[in-house]
Structure 1
Amino acid sequence: MHRLIENGLMFGNLIRVDSPILVERYNRALQHLTRRETALAEFHIDISGYSPEVGAELGDDQYLNHAGVNRQFILLTTDQKTAPLLNAKFSTSRGILKQFIQDNEAELFALTTRDAVAGELVNSVYDVDTPRKLFDIRKVTVEADTTKGTVATAKKLRDMISEFKTKPDAWFDDVLIGRMITLAKKTGDVTRNPVTLASAEFGQDNFWTAHFGGIYIFRGVEHPAAIIHGDKSALKDLPIAFEFDFEERRGIAKFLQLNDLAEPIVKARGVDAAAILHQKMDFMVAEVASTMGEDLTGATRRDLRALGRRYATLLPEAWQGLAALARWAEEGGPWPKISADHPAYFYTLRAKDHADADLVNMLLAELSPLDIRQLFICHKETFYKTYAGWSDEKRSYVVDFLVREYQVDKAGTREALFGHEATMEEPVAAPVRPTGPWTNNGGYEIRHDVIERVGPWGRIGGK
């Protein structure tokens, strides 16, 4: 993994903690949450305050995430909102923490100038020893305060102020006034500078969890289902209508279609579908070439085309399917029939524009693992596990590609691959040869009604 770390592809954007004051605050918060401390003088933390160096020192990568639920966090600075979340057990955790920091940025900035803020993502489940307990998680509440209890103390002071203003003869209550003065010394003037954190509750209808080998739970859709990375027979009696494992491609495809969660890349607005398809094909060529021992360091598109010709007979069926689709997109070739059973099927999809687009793209990344760019962007946990099993030739190519093609413009790449343009008038299709279900109207146009009815690769069931 050293190559990934050196190039900022692993543990990138972590926050450096190297001042004695911040280390002392971190230890105070760590003691407050876990009754443990670190002897390190400098280390790095993620958005939750987890440090891989501290984890190694303590021999516990889950020291802020016991049993993988109710993740605890330590905030030393609001800059942590840009950091990644390491060792994620739930796909929603980073988004919740980021939203909480953004919603309370001014308050957290003020609090962290004097102390660390420690907290927890709380739900009603403390241990997921059985898969059914995952379905008991309905919402997550963020609870946070400084290690000195500044927020709770400020609330007490506000309550006392309210009592003082409404209680008859409060001016003669020396005990109440004395307690107010004592608390004000700790909190400052809460009437002018309120010390409050907005309550934060987040629904947990649709999410991915790393527990039990990886499960995608979709409850907040019209047709709920659980999609399991592994043998679903080992997870019995789940309280959901449908269960699919990754071998049940037709079932997953039907689930995505019925809930209107995904769309074909070639139908997406504002994207260069042919370029995306060719890049996916290059990744497949790189996979074959690396298994043949080819040196892929610095390999260009031209180099990969040459390698593709050299190993044409070894290229997977998924490559052939994408090539046929690219020919249709670029040259007006025949429309390829790519059913859900075809290895190329999930490589041709991306999430539609909806609240769970990131989760769907995460699922699609696992279903199309040879697309190393999408796997890195959408599912880093799986990317790192997969990377560990690659040959050195492929590792070298992948790192070089991500540094050269992705790191230079992360936002632009994400927008090009997964962004959505506003709805506009349907464009006129380009003229194509009459080799598919076309109608003649001064040139051949695609019959959109047929595509909408059966999908551009035949019926989802492959019939």
Structure 2
Amino acid sequence: MKRLITRGLMFGNLIHVSSPALVERYNRALIHLTGKRTELADFHIDISGYSPEVGDELDDPLYLNPNGVNRQFILLSTAQKTAPLLNVKFSMSRSILRQFIEENEAQLFALTAKDAVAGELLNSVYAVSDPRALFNIRKIKIEADTTAGTVRDAEQLGQKIDRFMAEDDAWFDDVLIADMVTLAKRTGDVTRNPVRLKQMEFGQDNFWTAHFGGLYIFRGLDHPAAISAGDKAQFGKLPIKYTFDFNDRNQIAKFFEYNDLVEPIVKARGIDAGAILRQKLDFIIVDAAQETGIDLTGANRRDIRALARAHAADLPEEFHGLQALLRWAEDEGPWPRITSDHPAYFYTLRAADHPDRDLVNMLLAELAPKDVRQLFICHKEAFYRAYQGWSEAKKSYVADFLDREYQVDKAGARAALFGHDDAMAEPVRQPDLIDRVGPWGAIRRKRGGVKGPWGG
């Protein structure tokens, strides 16, 4: 992993904590949350305040995420909002933390000037030894305060000020006045500078979890389903109508279709489909050639084409399917029939424009793992797992490519691959072959004996 770390592709954009004052604030928050402390003089933290160095020191990578369910967090600065989230257990955790910081940025800036803010992403589940418990996660609430309880004290002071202003004889209530003075010494003037964090709650119908080898739960759709990266048999009966795993390619394709979750790359607006397909082809060639031991560092497209010629007999079906699609896209060949049974099928798709597009792109990245760029962008946990099993030649090529092509313009790369242009006008649909059978050929449905939209 050193190759990734030195290029900023792993543990990149973390916040460096080095001043004694910040280390002490971190320790106060750490003791407050976990009863532990660090002896390190400097370390790095992610958006939640988790530090890989502290995790190593404590021999506990989940020291801020007990049971991998209710993630705790430590905020030393609002600058953490741009940091990544490490050891991800739920897909929604980073977006929730970032939204919390952005919605309360002014308050958090003032609070973290003097103290650390410690908190937790709360739900009603505290352990997930039984996979059915995952379906009880429906809402996430955020609870946060400084280690000194500034927010709590400010709320109490505000209540006492309201009482003082409302009661006629409050001037004679020495206990009330004394309490107000004591609280004001800790919070400052809350009438001019209110210290209050927004009470935020997030509904969660659709999400991914790392538990049980990886599970996607889609409850908030017209046709709900759970999709497992591992064998679905491990789950038994889940409280959802359909459970699929990655071997159920036809059912997953129909799930995407019936819920309007994906679109073909070659029909997407505002992208260079040919360039995207060529890059996918390059990744597949590198994957096929990785066992040869060829040094691929700095390899360009001409080098990759030479590899394709040298290893033509070893290129998989994914390559041939995407090459045929590229020929069609550039008006050099007939329309290829790529059904959901074809290994290239999921490589030809991206998420449509809907609220769960990041989650769908994450799932597509696992279904098309040879596209290492999409895997890295959309599902870093899966990328790091896959990286460990690659040859040195492929590791070198992928790290060099991502450093050269992606790191220089992350936002631009994401927009080029996954961005959606607003339609200028409603297109006039023509009853051509694609409209009649779908862009990848008809997904044939059996007549009679079909149990629900994805078969039995």
TM-score of the superposition, structure 2-length normalised? Answer: 0.96
Question: Is the 8 Å Cα contact of residues 322 and 348 (structure 2) preserved in structure 1?
Answer: yes
2:279 matched residue in structure 1 = 279
Q: Which residue of 1 aligns with 2:389?
A: 389
Residue 452 of structure 1 and its aligned partner are, at CA, apart by 3.1
Cα distance in 2 for residues equivalent to 1:29 and 1:427: 56
User: Does residue 437 of structure 2 align to residue 454 of structure 1?
Assistant: yes
Deviation at 1:459, TM superposition (A): 1.6
1:426 is displaced (CA, Å) by: 6.9
Judging changes above 3 Å, is the alpha-carbon distance between structure 1 residues 79 and 323 closer, same or farther for their aligned structure 2 residues? same
Quote the Cα distance in structure 1 between the aligned partners of 2:369 and 2:162. Answer: 59
Q: Which amino acid is the alignment partner of residue 68 of structure 1? A: G
**1:176-213 CA deviation, whole Å, 9 max, x = no partner?**
01110110000000000000000110011000000001
CA apart distance, 1:425: 4.2
Residues in 2 aligned to 1:244 and 1:145: alpha-carbon distance in whole angstroms:
41
Stretches of structure 1 lacking an aligned partner (at least 5 in a row): 429-445
Which residue pairs with 2:86 in the alignment? 86
Matches within 5 A, 1:128-277: 128-277=128-277
Q: CA deviation at 1:293?
A: 2.0
Q: What SS does the corresponding residue of 1:337 show, helix, strand or coil? A: coil
Amino acid at match of 1:451: I
1:414 and 2:397 matched: no
Residue pair 1:339, 1:462 contacting (<8 A) in 2 also: no
Taking the aligned partners of 2:139 and 2:102, their CA distance within structure 1 comes to: 19
Q: Distance in 1 between matches of 2:111 and 2:61?
A: 27
Q: Is the 8 A contact 1:340 1:461 kept in 2?
A: no
AA at the equivalent of 2:47: I
Q: How far has the Cα of 1:166 moved from its partner?
A: 1.0
Task: Give distance in 2, aligned partners of 1:288 and 1:74.
Answer: 44
Query: Separation in 2 of the partners of 1:453 and 1:51?
Result: 54
- 2:17 corresponds in structure 1 to 17
**In the alignment, residue 160 of structure 1 is paired with which amino acid?**
K
Which residue of the partner structure matches residue 55 of structure 1?
Answer: 55
Q: Which whole-Å CA distance do the structure 2 matches of 1:213 and 1:272 have between them?
A: 34
The aligned residue for residue 125 of structure 2 is: 125
CA drift at 1:448: 5.1
Residues in 1 aligned to 2:414 and 2:47: alpha-carbon distance in whole angstroms: 21
Post-superposition Cα deviations, 1:327-374, rounded to whole Å, max 9, x if no partner, equal 000124210000001000000000011111100000000000000000
1:71 aligned residue: 71
Q: Which residue of 1 aligns with 2:450?
A: none
Contact 2:358–2:378 under 8 Å retained in 1 = yes
Equivalent in the alignment of 1:364:
364
Question: Which residue in the other structure is 1:44 paired with?
Answer: 44
Cα offset, 1:387, TM superposition: 0.2
Shift of 1:167: 1.4
**Match for residue 321 of structure 1?**
321
Match in the other structure for 1:432: none
CA contact (8 A) 2:226 2:240 kept: yes
The answer to whether the 8 Å contact 1:138/1:203 transfers is yes
2:6: which partner in 1? 6
Shift, 1:302, TM fit: 0.8
Q: Report Cα offsets for 1:368-392 as digits up to 9, x if no partner.
A: 0000000000000000000000000
Paired position in structure 1 for 2:449: none
Distance 1:347 1:406 in 2: 19
Question: How far has the Cα of 1:290 moved from its partner?
Answer: 1.3
In 2, the alpha carbon distance for the partners of 1:448 and 1:372 equals 36
Partner of 1:398: 398
Which residue in the other structure is 1:116 paired with?
Answer: 116
Code of the aligned partner of 2:360 = V
Once the two structures are superposed, what CA deviation does each residue of 1:401-452 show, in whole Å capped at 9, x if it has no partner? Answer: 0011101111000000000001134789xxxxxxxxxxxxxxxxx9555423
SS of the aligned residue for 1:217 comes to strand
List runs of 5+ in structure 2 lacking aligned partners.
447-456
The 1:461–1:249 alpha-carbon spacing in structure 2 relative to 1, beyond 3 Å, is farther
Instruction: Give secondary structure in 2 for the equivalent of 1:393.
Output: helix
Distance in 1, matches of 2:306 and 2:273, equals: 22
- Cα drift, residue 234 of structure 1: 1.0
Partner of 1:346: 346
Q: Is the 8 A contact 2:339 2:442 kept in 1?
A: yes
* In 2: Cα distance, 1:364 partner to 1:408 partner: 24
Give aligned pairs, total: 446
Return the letter of the residue paired with 2:434: I
CA RMSD of aligned residues (A): 1.3
**SS of residue paired to 1:331:** coil
Counterpart CA distance in 1 for 2:91 and 2:299 is 33
Distance 2:398 2:349 in 1: 22
- In 2, Cα distance between the equivalents of 1:160 and 1:143? 22
Partner amino acid for 1:3? Answer: R
Q: Which amino acid aligns with 1:331?
A: D
Are the equivalent residues in 1 in contact too, given 2:293–2:392 (CA < 8 A)?
no
Equivalent residues of 1:341, 1:462 under 8 A apart:
no
2:452 equivalent in structure 1: none
